[in-house]
Amino acid sequence: MPNSDLLPSLLFKLNENQLALEAAIMELTLWVEQRGSASVGESVRESLTALDRNEEFIRITLAVLMAPE
């Protein structure tokens, strides 16, 4: 398998990792907010907007890279 064939799989796995990390961070954010640290929760949510903003581009790129030629 040529190295270029590995790129879509690598990007897919990196995207999976990113989504898993986002979910875990959100769980921790909810836990922190339930204990009265709304400002910390808000800060984390603001930081996570970059992940949301980039998610659609990543999905589209992966679809293009993984599409049969």
Amino acid at 48: L
Contact 12, 63 (CB under 8 A): no
Contact 4, 62 (CB under 8 A): no
Contact 62, 15 (CB under 8 A): yes
pLDDT the model gives residue 1: 58
Between residues 68 and 32, the one the model is more confident about: 32
Indicate the pLDDT class of residue 65, thresholds 50, 70 and 90.
confident
Exposed, middle or buried, 18 (CB in 10 Å: 0-12/13-18/19+)? middle
Between residues 62 and 36, the one the model is more confident about: 36
Contact 43, 52 (CB under 8 A): no
Which pLDDT tens digit goes with each residue over 33-48? 999 999 999 999 999 9
Which pLDDT tens digit goes with each residue over 4-36? 678 888 888 988 999 999 999 999 999 999 999
